[in-house]
Amino acid sequence: MPSTRHSQSSPVSARALACEILTEAESGSLYLDQILERGFAHSQLTDKDRAFVTALTNGAMRWRARLDAEIAEHFRKNYETARPLLKNILRTALFQIRFMDRVPAYAALNEAVTLARAKFGEQLARLVNAILRNAQRRPYSWPQLEVLLQPENLPRLAAYLSYPEWLVQRWLERLGKDELPALAEACNQIPPMTIRVVRPQTNTKSFLEETTALQFTPEPVPDLPHVFNLPHLDQITKLKAFEQGLCTVQDASASLVAMLAAIQPDDTIIDLCAAPGGKTLHMAEFLTAGKVIAVDRSFARLKLLKSAAERLHLPVQLVASDARYFSAPLVDVVLVDAPCSGLGVLSRRSDLRWRRKPDDIAALAELQKEILANAARLVKIGGRLIYSTCTTEPEENDEVVAWFLQRRPSFALQPAQRFVPARFCEAPGFVRTWPHRHNMDGSFAAHLKRIQE
Protein backbone atom coordinates (compact mmCIF):
# COMPACT_ATOMS: atom_id res chain seq x y z
CA MET A 1 0.00 0.00 0.00
CA PRO A 2 1.41 3.43 -0.90
CA SER A 3 2.47 5.68 1.95
CA THR A 4 -0.06 8.29 2.96
CA ARG A 5 2.23 10.35 5.23
CA HIS A 6 1.88 13.24 2.82
CA SER A 7 -1.93 13.02 2.83
CA GLN A 8 -2.69 15.34 5.74
CA SER A 9 -5.55 17.41 4.32
CA SER A 10 -4.37 18.23 0.84
CA PRO A 11 -6.85 17.62 -1.99
CA VAL A 12 -3.90 16.69 -4.21
CA SER A 13 -2.82 13.96 -1.83
CA ALA A 14 -6.38 12.73 -1.41
CA ARG A 15 -6.74 12.40 -5.18
CA ALA A 16 -3.37 10.67 -5.47
CA LEU A 17 -4.37 8.19 -2.80
CA ALA A 18 -7.67 7.53 -4.58
CA CYS A 19 -5.84 6.72 -7.82
CA GLU A 20 -3.40 4.40 -6.06
CA ILE A 21 -6.22 2.59 -4.23
CA LEU A 22 -8.14 2.06 -7.48
CA THR A 23 -5.04 0.71 -9.19
CA GLU A 24 -4.41 -1.76 -6.38
CA ALA A 25 -8.07 -2.83 -6.40
CA GLU A 26 -7.79 -3.72 -10.09
CA SER A 27 -4.62 -5.76 -9.78
CA GLY A 28 -4.76 -7.30 -6.31
CA SER A 29 -6.89 -9.83 -4.50
CA LEU A 30 -8.40 -7.46 -1.93
CA TYR A 31 -11.74 -5.76 -2.44
CA LEU A 32 -11.95 -1.98 -2.68
CA ASP A 33 -13.49 -1.53 0.77
CA GLN A 34 -10.69 -3.60 2.31
CA ILE A 35 -8.02 -1.50 0.60
CA LEU A 36 -9.75 1.70 1.69
CA GLU A 37 -9.94 0.51 5.29
CA ARG A 38 -6.26 -0.44 5.31
CA GLY A 39 -5.23 2.80 3.65
CA PHE A 40 -7.16 4.93 6.11
CA ALA A 41 -5.74 3.00 9.07
CA HIS A 42 -2.21 4.02 8.02
CA SER A 43 -2.97 7.59 7.01
CA GLN A 44 -3.55 10.92 8.71
CA LEU A 45 -6.35 12.04 6.41
CA THR A 46 -8.99 14.38 7.79
CA ASP A 47 -12.56 13.11 7.97
CA LYS A 48 -13.39 15.35 5.02
CA ASP A 49 -10.60 13.86 2.92
CA ARG A 50 -11.60 10.33 3.88
CA ALA A 51 -15.14 11.00 2.74
CA PHE A 52 -13.80 12.49 -0.49
CA VAL A 53 -11.52 9.51 -1.21
CA THR A 54 -14.34 7.06 -0.44
CA ALA A 55 -16.77 8.86 -2.76
CA LEU A 56 -14.17 9.25 -5.50
CA THR A 57 -12.91 5.67 -5.50
CA ASN A 58 -16.36 4.10 -5.32
CA GLY A 59 -17.77 6.47 -7.92
CA ALA A 60 -14.94 5.99 -10.41
CA MET A 61 -15.12 2.23 -9.88
CA ARG A 62 -18.89 2.12 -10.26
CA TRP A 63 -18.91 4.18 -13.47
CA ARG A 64 -15.67 2.79 -14.86
CA ALA A 65 -17.06 1.51 -18.15
CA ARG A 66 -18.88 4.73 -19.00
CA LEU A 67 -15.84 6.80 -18.09
CA ASP A 68 -13.57 4.54 -20.14
CA ALA A 69 -15.80 4.88 -23.21
CA GLU A 70 -15.49 8.65 -23.09
CA ILE A 71 -11.77 8.69 -22.33
CA ALA A 72 -11.02 6.23 -25.14
CA GLU A 73 -12.78 8.57 -27.57
CA HIS A 74 -10.09 11.21 -26.92
CA PHE A 75 -7.09 8.91 -26.36
CA ARG A 76 -4.53 9.06 -29.19
CA LYS A 77 -3.42 5.45 -28.96
CA ASN A 78 -4.98 2.20 -27.73
CA TYR A 79 -6.52 3.11 -24.39
CA GLU A 80 -6.81 -0.54 -23.33
CA THR A 81 -3.01 -0.83 -23.20
CA ALA A 82 -2.52 2.33 -21.13
CA ARG A 83 -0.90 2.03 -17.72
CA PRO A 84 -3.45 1.29 -14.97
CA LEU A 85 -2.45 4.27 -12.84
CA LEU A 86 -2.74 6.61 -15.83
CA LYS A 87 -6.22 5.25 -16.51
CA ASN A 88 -7.24 5.91 -12.93
CA ILE A 89 -5.88 9.46 -13.00
CA LEU A 90 -8.11 10.07 -16.02
CA ARG A 91 -11.11 8.20 -14.58
CA THR A 92 -11.08 10.01 -11.27
CA ALA A 93 -10.74 13.39 -12.95
CA LEU A 94 -13.53 12.73 -15.42
CA PHE A 95 -15.74 11.31 -12.67
CA GLN A 96 -15.35 14.56 -10.73
CA ILE A 97 -16.21 16.59 -13.83
CA ARG A 98 -19.25 14.52 -14.75
CA PHE A 99 -20.66 13.42 -11.39
CA MET A 100 -19.34 15.57 -8.50
CA ASP A 101 -21.15 18.89 -8.71
CA ARG A 102 -19.32 20.42 -5.76
CA VAL A 103 -15.88 19.90 -7.29
CA PRO A 104 -14.87 22.65 -9.77
CA ALA A 105 -13.93 21.12 -13.11
CA TYR A 106 -10.73 23.18 -13.31
CA ALA A 107 -9.61 21.77 -9.94
CA ALA A 108 -10.15 18.17 -11.04
CA LEU A 109 -8.29 18.81 -14.31
CA ASN A 110 -5.37 20.68 -12.75
CA GLU A 111 -4.85 18.08 -10.03
CA ALA A 112 -4.92 15.27 -12.62
CA VAL A 113 -2.30 17.00 -14.75
CA THR A 114 -0.11 17.65 -11.71
CA LEU A 115 -0.38 14.04 -10.59
CA ALA A 116 0.37 12.72 -14.11
CA ARG A 117 3.44 14.96 -14.29
CA ALA A 118 4.69 13.70 -10.93
CA LYS A 119 4.15 10.05 -11.85
CA PHE A 120 4.97 9.93 -15.55
CA GLY A 121 6.59 13.16 -16.72
CA GLU A 122 5.67 16.08 -18.91
CA GLN A 123 4.60 14.16 -22.03
CA LEU A 124 1.83 12.20 -20.32
CA ALA A 125 0.84 15.25 -18.29
CA ARG A 126 0.17 17.06 -21.58
CA LEU A 127 -1.80 14.03 -22.79
CA VAL A 128 -3.97 14.06 -19.66
CA ASN A 129 -4.54 17.79 -20.08
CA ALA A 130 -5.57 17.37 -23.73
CA ILE A 131 -7.92 14.46 -23.06
CA LEU A 132 -9.74 16.15 -20.19
CA ARG A 133 -10.04 19.50 -21.99
CA ASN A 134 -11.41 17.75 -25.07
CA ALA A 135 -13.87 15.87 -22.89
CA GLN A 136 -15.05 19.18 -21.45
CA ARG A 137 -15.41 20.77 -24.88
CA ARG A 138 -16.95 17.77 -26.62
CA PRO A 139 -18.84 15.58 -24.13
CA TYR A 140 -19.41 12.03 -25.30
CA SER A 141 -22.67 11.73 -27.19
CA TRP A 142 -24.63 8.67 -26.04
CA PRO A 143 -27.55 7.48 -28.17
CA GLN A 144 -31.03 7.45 -26.67
CA LEU A 145 -31.71 4.51 -24.36
CA GLU A 146 -34.25 3.12 -26.81
CA VAL A 147 -31.48 2.87 -29.40
CA LEU A 148 -28.98 1.34 -26.97
CA LEU A 149 -31.53 -1.34 -26.05
CA GLN A 150 -31.49 -2.74 -29.57
CA PRO A 151 -29.74 -6.16 -29.66
CA GLU A 152 -26.89 -4.98 -31.89
CA ASN A 153 -25.95 -2.26 -29.38
CA LEU A 154 -25.35 -4.48 -26.36
CA PRO A 155 -21.66 -3.47 -25.92
CA ARG A 156 -22.52 0.24 -25.90
CA LEU A 157 -25.50 -0.38 -23.61
CA ALA A 158 -23.22 -2.18 -21.14
CA ALA A 159 -20.73 0.71 -21.27
CA TYR A 160 -23.47 3.31 -20.79
CA LEU A 161 -24.96 1.47 -17.81
CA SER A 162 -21.40 0.63 -16.63
CA TYR A 163 -21.68 -3.12 -16.14
CA PRO A 164 -19.96 -6.11 -17.73
CA GLU A 165 -21.60 -7.11 -20.98
CA TRP A 166 -22.34 -10.65 -19.76
CA LEU A 167 -24.30 -9.33 -16.77
CA VAL A 168 -26.34 -6.87 -18.83
CA GLN A 169 -27.17 -9.67 -21.26
CA ARG A 170 -28.25 -11.92 -18.38
CA TRP A 171 -30.49 -9.26 -16.84
CA LEU A 172 -31.93 -8.31 -20.21
CA GLU A 173 -32.96 -11.88 -20.95
CA ARG A 174 -34.71 -12.23 -17.59
CA LEU A 175 -36.20 -8.78 -17.02
CA GLY A 176 -36.64 -7.38 -20.51
CA LYS A 177 -36.08 -3.89 -21.87
CA ASP A 178 -38.55 -2.24 -19.49
CA GLU A 179 -36.99 -3.34 -16.21
CA LEU A 180 -33.30 -3.65 -17.07
CA PRO A 181 -32.56 0.12 -16.99
CA ALA A 182 -34.37 0.49 -13.66
CA LEU A 183 -32.38 -2.32 -12.05
CA ALA A 184 -29.09 -0.99 -13.46
CA GLU A 185 -29.86 2.53 -12.24
CA ALA A 186 -30.83 1.29 -8.76
CA CYS A 187 -27.56 -0.64 -8.44
CA ASN A 188 -25.63 2.47 -9.49
CA GLN A 189 -27.09 4.58 -6.67
CA ILE A 190 -25.35 5.13 -3.33
CA PRO A 191 -27.53 3.08 -0.96
CA PRO A 192 -29.03 4.52 2.21
CA MET A 193 -27.72 3.73 5.69
CA THR A 194 -30.33 1.30 6.99
CA ILE A 195 -30.85 0.80 10.73
CA ARG A 196 -32.75 -2.01 12.40
CA VAL A 197 -33.95 -1.31 15.92
CA VAL A 198 -32.97 -4.16 18.26
CA ARG A 199 -35.89 -5.51 20.32
CA PRO A 200 -38.16 -2.84 18.79
CA GLN A 201 -40.97 -3.16 21.34
CA THR A 202 -38.52 -1.91 23.98
CA ASN A 203 -36.13 0.35 22.08
CA THR A 204 -38.01 2.10 19.24
CA LYS A 205 -39.19 4.96 21.45
CA SER A 206 -35.66 5.73 22.70
CA PHE A 207 -34.24 5.50 19.18
CA LEU A 208 -36.80 7.94 17.75
CA GLU A 209 -36.45 10.34 20.67
CA GLU A 210 -32.70 10.54 20.17
CA THR A 211 -32.88 10.98 16.40
CA THR A 212 -35.48 13.73 16.87
CA ALA A 213 -33.26 15.49 19.40
CA LEU A 214 -30.34 15.32 16.96
CA GLN A 215 -32.60 16.57 14.15
CA PHE A 216 -32.20 13.38 12.15
CA THR A 217 -35.14 12.26 10.07
CA PRO A 218 -35.09 8.45 9.95
CA GLU A 219 -37.42 7.19 7.24
CA PRO A 220 -39.37 4.05 8.20
CA VAL A 221 -39.26 1.27 5.61
CA PRO A 222 -42.84 0.42 4.56
CA ASP A 223 -44.15 -2.80 6.15
CA LEU A 224 -41.05 -3.05 8.36
CA PRO A 225 -41.72 -0.72 11.30
CA HIS A 226 -38.47 -1.74 13.04
CA VAL A 227 -36.29 -0.70 10.07
CA PHE A 228 -35.32 2.88 9.16
CA ASN A 229 -33.21 4.60 6.52
CA LEU A 230 -30.94 7.43 7.61
CA PRO A 231 -30.25 10.15 5.03
CA HIS A 232 -26.54 10.52 5.89
CA LEU A 233 -24.07 7.70 6.39
CA ASP A 234 -22.14 9.43 9.16
CA GLN A 235 -25.20 9.86 11.38
CA ILE A 236 -24.92 6.37 12.84
CA THR A 237 -21.68 7.26 14.65
CA LYS A 238 -23.45 10.09 16.49
CA LEU A 239 -26.17 7.88 17.97
CA LYS A 240 -25.84 6.78 21.57
CA ALA A 241 -28.54 4.24 20.69
CA PHE A 242 -26.05 2.53 18.40
CA GLU A 243 -23.27 2.57 20.99
CA GLN A 244 -25.64 1.17 23.60
CA GLY A 245 -26.84 -1.65 21.35
CA LEU A 246 -30.38 -0.36 20.81
CA CYS A 247 -29.97 -0.44 17.04
CA THR A 248 -27.68 -1.93 14.43
CA VAL A 249 -26.80 -1.47 10.77
CA GLN A 250 -28.63 -3.99 8.59
CA ASP A 251 -30.25 -3.74 5.18
CA ALA A 252 -34.01 -4.11 5.16
CA SER A 253 -33.80 -7.22 2.97
CA ALA A 254 -31.55 -8.96 5.50
CA SER A 255 -34.05 -8.29 8.29
CA LEU A 256 -36.59 -10.47 6.49
CA VAL A 257 -34.64 -13.68 7.16
CA ALA A 258 -35.26 -13.84 10.90
CA MET A 259 -38.94 -13.09 10.27
CA LEU A 260 -39.10 -15.92 7.76
CA ALA A 261 -37.56 -18.33 10.28
CA ALA A 262 -40.45 -17.73 12.72
CA ILE A 263 -38.13 -18.03 15.72
CA GLN A 264 -39.72 -19.31 18.94
CA PRO A 265 -38.38 -18.28 22.39
CA ASP A 266 -36.94 -21.72 23.22
CA ASP A 267 -35.51 -22.59 19.79
CA THR A 268 -32.00 -23.92 19.34
CA ILE A 269 -30.55 -22.36 16.21
CA ILE A 270 -27.50 -23.11 14.09
CA ASP A 271 -26.30 -20.46 11.67
CA LEU A 272 -23.87 -22.26 9.38
CA CYS A 273 -22.41 -19.22 7.59
CA ALA A 274 -22.81 -16.78 10.42
CA ALA A 275 -20.22 -14.00 10.19
CA PRO A 276 -20.36 -11.04 10.26
CA GLY A 277 -23.53 -11.85 12.17
CA GLY A 278 -26.40 -9.52 11.30
CA LYS A 279 -28.91 -12.32 10.74
CA THR A 280 -27.46 -14.42 13.58
CA LEU A 281 -28.02 -11.68 16.11
CA HIS A 282 -31.45 -10.79 14.77
CA MET A 283 -32.57 -14.37 15.40
CA ALA A 284 -31.02 -14.27 18.88
CA GLU A 285 -33.27 -11.34 19.81
CA PHE A 286 -36.34 -13.60 19.76
CA LEU A 287 -34.93 -16.09 22.26
CA THR A 288 -35.44 -16.41 25.99
CA ALA A 289 -34.61 -20.03 26.82
CA GLY A 290 -33.07 -20.96 23.47
CA LYS A 291 -29.57 -20.51 22.06
CA VAL A 292 -27.74 -19.66 18.86
CA ILE A 293 -24.69 -21.55 17.61
CA ALA A 294 -22.83 -19.36 15.12
CA VAL A 295 -20.59 -21.31 12.75
CA ASP A 296 -18.06 -19.78 10.37
CA ARG A 297 -14.77 -20.99 8.95
CA SER A 298 -13.07 -17.62 9.46
CA PHE A 299 -11.67 -16.80 12.91
CA ALA A 300 -11.30 -13.14 11.91
CA ARG A 301 -14.95 -12.88 10.91
CA LEU A 302 -16.07 -14.64 14.07
CA LYS A 303 -14.21 -11.96 16.05
CA LEU A 304 -16.36 -9.35 14.31
CA LEU A 305 -19.46 -11.32 15.22
CA LYS A 306 -18.34 -11.57 18.85
CA SER A 307 -17.81 -7.82 19.02
CA ALA A 308 -21.26 -7.16 17.54
CA ALA A 309 -22.89 -9.62 19.95
CA GLU A 310 -21.30 -7.87 22.90
CA ARG A 311 -22.50 -4.46 21.73
CA LEU A 312 -26.07 -5.78 21.32
CA HIS A 313 -25.91 -7.72 24.61
CA LEU A 314 -26.89 -10.98 22.91
CA PRO A 315 -25.36 -14.35 23.89
CA VAL A 316 -24.05 -16.41 20.96
CA GLN A 317 -21.96 -19.59 20.94
CA LEU A 318 -19.15 -19.28 18.36
CA VAL A 319 -17.73 -22.25 16.48
CA ALA A 320 -14.99 -22.16 13.82
CA SER A 321 -15.88 -24.85 11.30
CA ASP A 322 -16.60 -25.50 7.63
CA ALA A 323 -20.35 -25.37 6.97
CA ARG A 324 -20.11 -28.36 4.65
CA TYR A 325 -18.92 -30.66 7.43
CA PHE A 326 -20.14 -29.20 10.72
CA SER A 327 -21.93 -31.76 12.89
CA ALA A 328 -24.18 -31.32 15.94
CA PRO A 329 -27.32 -32.78 17.57
CA LEU A 330 -30.55 -31.99 15.71
CA VAL A 331 -31.95 -28.49 16.27
CA ASP A 332 -35.10 -26.46 15.62
CA VAL A 333 -33.68 -24.02 13.06
CA VAL A 334 -30.71 -24.10 10.71
CA LEU A 335 -29.88 -20.99 8.69
CA VAL A 336 -27.80 -21.24 5.54
CA ASP A 337 -27.04 -17.65 4.55
CA ALA A 338 -25.00 -19.01 1.70
CA PRO A 339 -21.82 -17.68 0.10
CA CYS A 340 -23.03 -16.27 -3.20
CA SER A 341 -22.16 -14.04 -6.14
CA GLY A 342 -23.46 -10.97 -4.27
CA LEU A 343 -25.15 -9.59 -7.37
CA GLY A 344 -27.98 -8.24 -5.23
CA VAL A 345 -25.65 -5.86 -3.35
CA LEU A 346 -23.83 -4.18 -6.25
CA SER A 347 -24.77 -0.73 -4.97
CA ARG A 348 -22.81 -1.43 -1.77
CA ARG A 349 -19.80 -3.06 -3.43
CA SER A 350 -18.78 -0.92 -6.37
CA ASP A 351 -15.99 -3.21 -7.60
CA LEU A 352 -17.92 -6.50 -7.41
CA ARG A 353 -19.42 -6.15 -10.89
CA TRP A 354 -15.93 -6.11 -12.39
CA ARG A 355 -14.60 -8.98 -10.28
CA ARG A 356 -17.41 -11.46 -10.89
CA LYS A 357 -17.21 -13.81 -13.89
CA PRO A 358 -20.05 -15.86 -15.43
CA ASP A 359 -18.45 -19.12 -14.29
CA ASP A 360 -18.55 -17.96 -10.66
CA ILE A 361 -22.30 -18.45 -10.50
CA ALA A 362 -22.22 -22.15 -11.35
CA ALA A 363 -19.28 -22.78 -9.01
CA LEU A 364 -21.03 -21.01 -6.14
CA ALA A 365 -24.24 -22.97 -6.78
CA GLU A 366 -22.32 -26.21 -6.26
CA LEU A 367 -20.93 -24.92 -2.98
CA GLN A 368 -24.40 -23.82 -1.89
CA LYS A 369 -25.74 -27.31 -2.57
CA GLU A 370 -22.98 -28.88 -0.50
CA ILE A 371 -23.74 -26.65 2.46
CA LEU A 372 -27.48 -27.14 2.14
CA ALA A 373 -27.09 -30.94 2.02
CA ASN A 374 -25.15 -30.88 5.28
CA ALA A 375 -27.60 -28.43 6.85
CA ALA A 376 -30.48 -30.85 6.22
CA ARG A 377 -28.81 -33.42 8.45
CA LEU A 378 -28.95 -31.00 11.40
CA VAL A 379 -32.71 -30.25 11.36
CA LYS A 380 -35.09 -32.20 13.57
CA ILE A 381 -38.56 -33.30 12.42
CA GLY A 382 -40.82 -30.24 12.51
CA GLY A 383 -37.75 -27.98 12.36
CA ARG A 384 -36.98 -25.28 9.80
CA LEU A 385 -34.16 -24.94 7.32
CA ILE A 386 -33.83 -21.37 6.05
CA TYR A 387 -31.87 -20.80 2.85
CA SER A 388 -30.95 -17.22 1.92
CA THR A 389 -28.65 -15.34 -0.43
CA CYS A 390 -27.91 -11.74 -1.42
CA THR A 391 -27.99 -12.47 -5.14
CA THR A 392 -30.62 -12.10 -7.84
CA GLU A 393 -29.49 -15.05 -9.93
CA PRO A 394 -31.83 -18.08 -10.27
CA GLU A 395 -29.02 -20.64 -10.46
CA GLU A 396 -28.13 -19.73 -6.87
CA ASN A 397 -31.70 -19.31 -5.65
CA ASP A 398 -34.73 -21.09 -7.13
CA GLU A 399 -32.66 -23.78 -8.81
CA VAL A 400 -30.73 -24.64 -5.64
CA VAL A 401 -33.99 -25.00 -3.70
CA ALA A 402 -35.53 -27.12 -6.49
CA TRP A 403 -32.43 -29.33 -6.49
CA PHE A 404 -32.67 -29.72 -2.71
CA LEU A 405 -36.38 -30.59 -2.61
CA GLN A 406 -35.98 -33.15 -5.37
CA ARG A 407 -33.36 -34.98 -3.32
CA ARG A 408 -34.88 -34.36 0.10
CA PRO A 409 -38.60 -35.25 0.04
CA SER A 410 -38.57 -35.08 3.84
CA PHE A 411 -38.59 -31.27 3.48
CA ALA A 412 -41.38 -29.07 2.13
CA LEU A 413 -41.32 -25.44 1.04
CA GLN A 414 -43.49 -23.26 3.26
CA PRO A 415 -45.17 -20.15 1.75
CA ALA A 416 -43.12 -17.15 2.82
CA GLN A 417 -46.30 -15.05 2.94
CA ARG A 418 -47.14 -16.75 6.26
CA PHE A 419 -44.19 -15.06 7.91
CA VAL A 420 -43.14 -12.04 5.82
CA PRO A 421 -45.16 -9.12 4.37
CA ALA A 422 -46.57 -10.19 1.01
CA ARG A 423 -44.89 -7.46 -1.04
CA PHE A 424 -41.54 -9.13 -0.41
CA CYS A 425 -42.78 -12.56 -1.53
CA GLU A 426 -43.59 -14.27 -4.79
CA ALA A 427 -44.84 -17.62 -6.00
CA PRO A 428 -44.24 -20.39 -5.15
CA GLY A 429 -43.57 -18.86 -1.75
CA PHE A 430 -40.07 -17.43 -1.81
CA VAL A 431 -38.87 -14.15 -0.35
CA ARG A 432 -37.38 -12.13 -3.19
CA THR A 433 -36.39 -8.48 -3.16
CA TRP A 434 -35.04 -6.29 -5.94
CA PRO A 435 -33.22 -2.95 -5.63
CA HIS A 436 -35.45 -1.24 -8.21
CA ARG A 437 -38.73 -2.67 -6.90
CA HIS A 438 -38.21 -2.50 -3.15
CA ASN A 439 -35.49 0.15 -2.63
CA MET A 440 -33.32 -2.35 -0.79
CA ASP A 441 -30.69 -4.97 -1.61
CA GLY A 442 -31.53 -7.84 -3.92
CA SER A 443 -32.10 -11.00 -1.91
CA PHE A 444 -33.72 -14.42 -1.85
CA ALA A 445 -34.89 -16.72 0.95
CA ALA A 446 -36.83 -19.94 1.35
CA HIS A 447 -38.40 -21.61 4.42
CA LEU A 448 -37.98 -25.40 4.19
CA LYS A 449 -39.72 -27.43 6.90
CA ARG A 450 -38.69 -30.97 7.75
CA ILE A 451 -41.93 -32.95 7.76
CA GLN A 452 -40.67 -36.55 8.15
CA GLU A 453 -37.62 -38.76 8.64
pLDDT in tens, 344-402: 999 999 999 999 999 999 999 999 999 999 999 999 999 999 999 999 999 999 999 99
Give the residue, 357 or 230, on which the prediction is more confident: 357
Q: Taking 50 as the threshold, does the pLDDT of residue 263 lie above it?
A: yes
- Active site includes 390? yes
Query: Could you give the 3-state DSSP secondary structure of residue 318?
Result: strand
pLDDT tens readout for residues 203-224: 999 999 999 998 888 999 999 9
- Paired sense of beta strands 331-337 and 379-389, if any: parallel
User: What is the CATH code for 11-137?
Assistant: 1.10.940.10
Considering the entire predicted model, what is its pTM?
0.94
pLDDT tens readout for residues 266-322: 999 999 999 999 999 999 999 999 999 999 999 999 999 999 999 999 999 999 999
153: confidence class by pLDDT, cuts 50, 70, 90: very high
76: confidence class by pLDDT, cuts 50, 70, 90: confident
The pLDDT of residue 2:
39
How far from chain centre, in Å, is Cα 204?
A: 26
Q: Whole-angstrom Cα distance, residue 104 to residue 136?
A: 12
The pLDDT of residue 233:
66
Q: Taking 90 as the threshold, does the pLDDT of residue 27 lie above it?
A: no
The pLDDT of residue 268:
98
Q: Whole-angstrom Cα distance, residue 280 to residue 316?
A: 8
The DSSP annotation for 17-80 comes to: HHHHHHHHHHHSSS-HHHHHHHHHHT----HHHHHHHHHHHHHHHHTHHHHHHHHHHH-SS-GG
Q: Average of pLDDT values for 447-452?
A: 97
Q: Taking 80 as the threshold, does the pLDDT of residue 1 lie above it?
A: no
The pLDDT of residue 45:
87
Fold of 193-249: Alpha-Beta Plaits (3.30.70)
Of 19, 187, 340, 390, the catalytic one is 390
Q: Taking 90 as the threshold, does the pLDDT of residue 6 lie above it?
A: no
The pLDDT of residue 255:
97
* Domain covering 255-450: architecture: 3-Layer(aba) Sandwich (3.40)
Helix (H) or strand (E) holding 121: none
- Determine the length of the chain: 453
The pLDDT of residue 7:
35
192: confidence class by pLDDT, cuts 50, 70, 90: confident
Q: Whole-angstrom Cα distance, residue 405 to residue 428?
A: 13
Q: Average of pLDDT values for 238-261?
A: 95
The pLDDT of residue 10:
44
Q: State the first-to-last Cα distance of the chain, in angstroms, to the nearest integer.
A: 55
Give the residue, 28 or 111, on which the prediction is more confident: 111
Q: Taking 50 as the threshold, does the pLDDT of residue 12 lie above it?
A: no
The pLDDT of residue 52:
94
Instruction: Read off φ and ψ for residue 193, nearest 5 degrees.
Output: -85, 115
Q: Whole-angstrom Cα distance, residue 369 to residue 84?
A: 38
Q: Taking 60 as the threshold, does the pLDDT of residue 8 lie above it?
A: no
Amino acid at position 445, single letter: A
The pLDDT of residue 172:
97
The pLDDT of residue 302:
96
